[in-house]
Structures are given as C-alpha cells and as structure tokens.
Structure 1
Amino acid sequence: MRTLRLLLLLCLVPALAGAVDEAEFARRRRALMEQIPDGIVLLRSSSAMTWEASSFRQDPAFYYFTGLANAHQAILAIDGGAKETWLFAGPAPESTLFVPDLRGLESIFVAPGAESEHALGLEHVVPWDELTGVVGSRRTQDGKVALYVDSGGFASALSLGGNTPKGVPPVEPSWAVWRKVVHDLWPDAEIKDATPILDSVRAVKSPAEIALLKNAADVTLPAFWSAVAAIRTGRRQRAVEAAVVSACVEAGAEGPSFWPWIRSGPSAGPASLFEALADYHNLDRAMMGGELVRVDLGCELRLYKADYGRTIPVSGRFDEGQREVLELLVGAYRAGVAQMRPGANQAGVFRATAACVIERRGRLKTPLAREAAATVDERTAFFLHGIGLDLIEASPPVFRAGNVICYEPRLTARDQSFFVEDTFLITASGAERISPELPYTAEGLEKEIARRRRK
C-alpha cells in the first residue's frame, strides 16, 4: 500500500504546488495579527544566490505568510494594530545577469500596485523605498507601537559565537543584521523578539501542510534505502551522502531537506555530531566493519521537510552488545512516543524514555548495554523538535492536535552511537506516525539490509 501511495505521489508531484491556497496565507496573517495587537512584525525575504546551493531557499517565515517562494528584495510588515499587511517590494536590478521571467507566486521581483495586491491578497504592495515613511507614520499615530523582528530560531543555536569583535556591528547571520538595521532606523522604538510568536502561529499545521509533510516523508523512503544499500566496509561517508541526494531528486523531491547525516563510528557520537557542520570535509571518513552508521536524512518537497532515520551496521549485522543496546533504545523510544498526546510536553516524553532505560538497567547482559544505560538518569534530555518549512522548528511547550514533531533519542557507549527517529502528527487522541514504516529491531533491520544489498 505504501509503495502504491508513493507511485501515485510521484505522478502528482507537479500538481502539488497549489496545496496551500491564498485563503490559508490570509488566515495565517490574521492569526499573527491577533498575537501582536501592540506592534508590527517586520520580515525580510531571502536575497542570497550562491553557486554552491542546489537552488534558492526562501526565508521560511516570509514564505509562510506570503506564499512567495522566490521573491527577492522584499520586506513584509504585518501590522497587528491596524490589521493590515504591507509588502515593500524592491525593483529588479537595472543591470543583471538574467532577465526575470517568472510570474505570480513564482516571481523573483514583485511589481508594486493593485495587480499584485489582488493576486497575493494583500492590502498594500508598494515600492520598498516607502518602508520608513509607512512605519514612521504608524509610529507617529501610535508612539507605543512595537517592532517585532525574528531572532533566527534554532539556527541561532548553531552559531559558534559572535561573528565580529566587541563593538563591531554584526555582518552575519542575516537576522542579526536585520535587527541592527531596524534598531538604527528607529532607535527609540521598542524592539521585540518575534520568534516565540512566529513559532506559536506556525506550530499547528493545517490539513494542507500535513499533507505536504506526509508527501515529503514518502518521497524520502527511496533515499533512506539507497543509503542503506550504499553502506559498505571501506566506502566513504561522502559516497553514501551522494546516493541520498540522487535518490531524493529521482523520487521527485527538490533535493535533501538538509545535507544527509551519514555518521559512522566515532563521528556519530555527541562530541563530534555537530562538528561536521563546521568542517569543510563534513568529517568524511571510511566506514569500517563492526561500526554503526547514523542514517539521518530527509527530502524536501514544495518547501516542506522530512526527517527520520535508523542505526545501520556497516557489516550488515549487529553484534550481541549492539543488539541489546538497540533493543533497549527502541523500548525506551516507544515508551516516550506513548506519552505524545494533546496536553503533554517533551519533558514527559523524555521522562518516560529515561524511566524505561533505568527500569531495565539491572537486567542487561552485555557490557556495552550496561555502559549505554549508565549514561541515562531521570534528568536526561533527549532531542525532540518540530518540523515544517524549517527542518528544526521549536518543540511546542504543550502538545496540541496538529503539531508535527520528530523524536530522536540516542544512546552512546564507547565509540558507538545508537539512534532512532520518526515523524509524528499529534492527533486528538494521541500521535500518528507520518513517516514511512521502517524496521525497529535488529532482526528486522538485518533482514531488510540483506535484501537491499542483494539488488
């Protein structure tokens, strides 16, 4: 059934572009206005084109409220007090290497005026040189109006620290530069962090978004099994990453949701898991027999992301200790998933996962499993995150029906790291896994690995 669903999806991929309609974008803007009666949210479009990227990537918050996937040189102002939205649109460059030909929601440069206002369902689409005048006028009318700007969300947590010396204005990331620009333009205004409010509005997914997330998860399945089939003793992680990217594209996706995490042996451990993001070689290494590989990946479809994975033995088989650790992890994982329901939170999920590990600690037989269990106590925090237009969105403080979350606990012993991850939709009565069915047990994984490698 899942295979049939995937084949049907691949036939329908070109028709999915209109899955989120103008009325939904308007509902999103109204929901944000209700959260900011005292101010204006100012969001910038992305404007960076690079040789290295597979394609242009729009700022997720800007896209969420406009539907403009390609717009450059644009600033969105959502005014909670006046209950209206302004799009300040920059002109196309007079001299450019390309002549923009895309129209409508695909436009690179949005034309100011009534035609764009009607097409986008916005009250105002004006030249962006009017930004300071419009905001200044609103502040003259209401001297207490606050200005809300984004603070980067989870991406800001990946910063390695200040990017300039003390006293020197930021030059990156873009959200920090934009915050500085807004402060300099209106130095006496109250500048507030929009991120918690944006997270709240975006946390509950609409039926259209849920369908897109399910579709993204489905087209990821061939990429997952391509990775599993490519893992071999002596092969480099980079070769497996390439197989994932190719499979995403062949399945009809735009590409990967994020560069695939194919992390083997010690590179999958907590000390180096994120270090790869700062390394030119992505901590590439040859995979060795006896090691485990974290296969953590997703494909992107219509800007929505997928993210799930499993732990795969390089040799195709787990040893006795590895089997017991994996069994321990899966049992604890399922205990955590069982706590997912409206009104619950991630702390409850973590407590249930940890409690299962602790309860089984005295019955473990292998040194490896006992060592892995010893790293967990009642306060252990695992990793759970939202997903949507951003790969990693904030974990909802309290789960609500319509939240879509990924849970990815990990156990580590010596140089071996064990991981499992699926994507779940919080429903009225619990949680529904929306990522495809994959084996959890050592036996199930080994059987499927052998079958895939015989092809």
Structure 2
Amino acid sequence: MTLPRFFTRTLALIFISAGWAAPLIAQVPNAEYAQRRAQLLTHGSDGLILLKARSSEKEMEQPGWIQNASFYYFTGLGDQPAAILVLDGPANETHLFVPPAPLSFGVPVENLSQTPGAESAAKWGLSTVRAWEEFSDFVQTRIQDGVTKFYIEKPRRKEPTGTPPGMTAVTGRYFLWEQSLNKSFPEADIESITPAIAEMRWVKSRAESDILAKIAEMTTSALVAGIKAVEPGKTQREVEAAVLAGCLFAGAEGPSFWPLTMAGPNAHLATAVRSFYDYENLNRTMLDGELVRMDIGCAADNYGGDVGRTVPVSGSFSEEQSLAWNLLITGYKAGLAAMRSGASVEDVSEASRAAIRAISQNTKNAAQRAIAEAMLDETSGVYWHIHGVGIEPGEAPGSLLSSGVVLAYEPMFSWKTDAYYLEDMILITDDGAVVLSAGLPYSSAEISALMAN
C-alpha cells in the first residue's frame, strides 16, 4: 500500500526530529489493584459487585485493543477479554471468571485468558480464578445464600440502545450487561456503583500520576508537531497525521482518541461533535484567517492524555482574535492559581470568571470590554469545563480537588465566527497545581512564535 505523500513526509520529519522512544513499562504494582478492590468492597458490602471486561476484539481501525476502563482499574489485566470480576461483599472475597480462547478471523487466540486455578489467583491477589462456565452456578448459589443485591457500573451518559422503544437493545455495553443480568437472575436487585468508582478514579496514586506525567510529555510533543503542521492550504487530515506520528515517535502506543483538528466553522463545539458521525471527520482545507481547535491525546500503559490549544492558520492572530484569546488565557491562569487540595470545581471556575469580570469593569478598550462581557454571559459565555484524566482521557470529575487528582481544565468560548479552546493536564497537590503538559505556549504572541520557529 502506498501512503499519501503528506503522511510519509510528516512521518519522516517527526522521525528525524524526535527519534523513536521505547514504550513505557507498566508501573502500578499488583498490591495497588488489591487495595482498590478492598476499598470498593466497602461500598458493596451487602452484595456482589460485577465488573465486565471488554468482550469484543478491537475494531480494524483502532491502533490497539482497549480494555474496559474500570475492569482494568481493579485488575490491571489490560489484555484479558470477556472476563468477569466478582467482588463478593458478604464473603469479603474476590473472584475472576475467565473465558476460553476468543476467536479472531475464526482462529483461536491462545494465551490471553488467565489460567483458572490457585497459581493465577495468587499472582493477581484474588481469592479464586475460575472458568467462566462456573459463573452462573456461583451466582445462583450466592442468591440462595440470600445475597440478591448486585452492583454494576453504569455509563456517565445515556447509551443508545440501537432499537426503537419497546425492542430489545442491540448496542450499549453497559446496558447489554445489565439486560443480561436481569434476564439471567430475575431475583437480583441491581444498583449502580458508578459514583463510588468515579470518586476512586478521580484521585490518582503516585504510580498513576507518574504514568500520566510521562503521557503528558508525549502529548505535548505530539501537539507541538501538530501545531507546526498548520498552514493555509493544508487539510485537517494532514495535521491529524502529524499528531498521530508525533504520538508514536514520542513513545506512545497511539492516540488516546482520534485527534480533533477542527478549523474555521468546524471548531465550534456544536459543529465539531458532528465529526463523530462523519466519514471524513469533517475534513476541510484550512484557510488564511481561520482558527484551528486542536484537541489531542496520546496513550500508553493503558492510560490516556488530553491536551489542546487554538492556533491561527496563518501563524498570526488578528487583533480581535488576539484580544479574545488573551482574555481567555487570563481567566484560565486565574483558575490555575485557584487550584489546590480542598478547593471545589466551582471555586476554580469562579476564579476564572472573576479575572474576566475585573477586566470588563476596568478596561478602557471597548472591543476588549465587549468580548469580556460576552465571556461572562450566563448562557453563551465561556464554558469552564473540568474533567478527570486517567485510564480514559475524559473521566468523571469529583466535586472537590484533592492531592493526587489529575484533571484537564478545558474552557470553550465562541465569539463571532471564531471558536476558542485550550486544555492542559494538571496534577493537584497540597500546595497548588502542577501543569504536567508544561512547555506549551499560552499567549497569542507565544503561539505565533512557536509557529514561526
């Protein structure tokens, strides 16, 4: 197969400038996974917690197989398909039910599943590792013992069922798992344990934050590669190629999500979301005078990054674009300064709004005042978004910041025909915040200088 010239040229340039870095080695010890399971058991002490591994093989277009996040968080088994983790609250036991070899192109894929028995159980700190043919009988026995409460993970957002109302669902992995349990064990009372899992995953261990710090470096490198690929006449796809190559040559396994490099009208959020249902990913040629929303992440060690900036296609912001961007940066940095253990998510957003409010009240520049006032509008102003970053590049946030949290601060704002956005990966400490994606430009002048270099 012959690759497009722009892609091979981008690969060559990044290979020469960055070289090839070896992938990371997983750093989370088995004991930590056992501690997580023990902590989760305190939230389901009266029932069975049932967490499912990913059942299907990877899609052909995926760079690698991706485990279900919470199953990985509580087991460390990144390549174990279809298994079921059972945390038995009343018995204070943990069991893993593993399937036979899965098929790929009709061929059995051997040596993926853990071998049932005491040796595997001891290796992973579990009470037992069993063949999954034993799962139904095990659950029925526990129901006969009076354990009828089941806890499962449910999605952050409502999943589509893929069928009209009244029909059995054909898609939605959380929904299908719950549907199967309801049909197989009608006596069970099924509840969500998602809030407890989300709160645990919100705060990272030292091992996790070390992994994420390295991923932030990779993602920063890939973003710089993407920014330097932006110029009038190029397509969004060409910039995507630079980002993907940047992740790989920085040592990542690939992107944590397909890069969003949305130019001009595509950069507005209401339009950008259409890319998830568009074969061409809203690809278009970038034009002089437009801005590009660059939202990207690299993946390694089963964790993912999420970083971004808005950059001018021409390499220079217009005067009005510069006013809007630098105002957003002022608010953003005020939010960063407010981040510390014990602060609330709302404290951070309010610090950002207060900085913009002060400018709107004191500036003598009419254009700057108009933009600031628009940023403060309760319905159409800046959306000061915060989410967690971890095994998934976008995880549910907690309400309070605490030492060990790794988050992304992601303000978004539209002004006239332009859309503005930026994002860093940030580690919360007792004393404040550490930007893990350090070294990226903030001001319009810094961005233009990077693009000119």
Indicate if the aligned counterparts of 2:360 and 2:372 stay in contact, CA closer than 8 A: no
Cα distance change of structure 1 residues 368 and 95 upon mapping to structure 2, 3 Å threshold: closer
Cα distance change of structure 1 residues 326 and 96 upon mapping to structure 2, 3 Å threshold: closer
Indicate if the aligned counterparts of 1:25 and 1:65 stay in contact, CA closer than 8 A: yes
For structure 2, the residue ranges without an aligned partner over 5 or more in a row are 1-16
2:376 is aligned to: 376
Distance 1:344 1:337 in 2: 11
Query: After alignment, is 437-446 or 355-364 more displaced?
Result: 355-364
Which SS does the other structure have where 1:296 is aligned?
A: strand
Cα RMSD between the aligned structures? 2.2
Distance 2:203 2:25 in 1: 20
Distance 1:266 1:93 in 2: 44
2:437 is aligned to: 435
2:55 is aligned to: 47
Larger RCO, structure (CA 8 Å, separation 6 or more): 2
Q: TM-score, normalised by structure 2?
A: 0.90
Indicate if the aligned counterparts of 1:308 and 1:422 stay in contact, CA closer than 8 A: yes
Distance 2:81 2:339 in 1: 39
1:199-237: per-residue Cα shift (whole Å, max 9, x none)? 112221111100000011111222111111111111110
1:36 is aligned to: 44
* Residues 5-404 of structure 1 mapped to structure 2, 5 A cutoff: 13-14=22-23, 16-49=24-57, 50-93=59-102, 97-98=106-107, 100=109, 102=111, 108-143=112-147, 145-153=148-156, 156=157, 159=159, 161-362=160-361, 363=363, 365=365, 367=367, 370-371=370-371, 373-377=373-377, 381-404=383-406
Distance 2:364 2:108 in 1: 66
Matched residue type, 2:437: S
- Equivalent pairs counted in the alignment come to 433
Distance 2:255 2:407 in 1: 18
Matched residue type, 1:446: S
For structure 1, the residue ranges without an aligned partner over 5 or more in a row are 1-6, 103-107
Indicate if the aligned counterparts of 1:46 and 1:58 stay in contact, CA closer than 8 A: yes
Which SS does the other structure have where 2:67 is aligned?
A: coil
Which SS does the other structure have where 1:88 is aligned?
A: strand
Q: TM-score, normalised by structure 1?
A: 0.90
1:3 is aligned to: none
1:444 is aligned to: 446
The CA deviation at 1:95 is: 9.2
Indicate if the aligned counterparts of 1:341 and 1:428 stay in contact, CA closer than 8 A: yes
Matched residue type, 2:76: G
1:105 is aligned to: none
Distance 1:304 1:121 in 2: 22
Distance 1:366 1:319 in 2: 16
Indicate if the aligned counterparts of 1:325 and 1:369 stay in contact, CA closer than 8 A: no
Indicate if the aligned counterparts of 1:321 and 1:369 stay in contact, CA closer than 8 A: no
The CA deviation at 1:96 is: 6.5
Indicate if the aligned counterparts of 2:151 and 2:190 stay in contact, CA closer than 8 A: yes
1:243-302: per-residue Cα shift (whole Å, max 9, x none)? 111111111100011100101111111321222112221111111100111111110011
The CA deviation at 1:29 is: 0.7
Matched residue type, 2:91: A
Indicate if the aligned counterparts of 1:387 and 1:393 stay in contact, CA closer than 8 A: yes
Matched residue type, 2:34: A
- Give identity over the alignment, percent: 37
Matched residue type, 1:211: D
Distance 2:310 2:102 in 1: 49
Which SS does the other structure have where 2:272 is aligned?
A: coil
**2:427 aligned with 1:425:** yes
Matched residue type, 2:124: L
Which SS does the other structure have where 2:226 is aligned?
A: helix
1:6-39: per-residue Cα shift (whole Å, max 9, x none)? x99976x45x424111111111111111221122
Runs of 4+ in 1 over 6 A off after TM superposition: 7-10
Distance 1:289 1:95 in 2: 47
The CA deviation at 1:424 is: 1.0
Cα distance change of structure 1 residues 258 and 372 upon mapping to structure 2, 3 Å threshold: farther
The CA deviation at 1:110 is: 2.0
Indicate if the aligned counterparts of 2:20 and 2:249 stay in contact, CA closer than 8 A: no
Matched residue type, 1:377: D
Distance 2:198 2:441 in 1: 32
Indicate if the aligned counterparts of 1:32 and 1:80 stay in contact, CA closer than 8 A: no
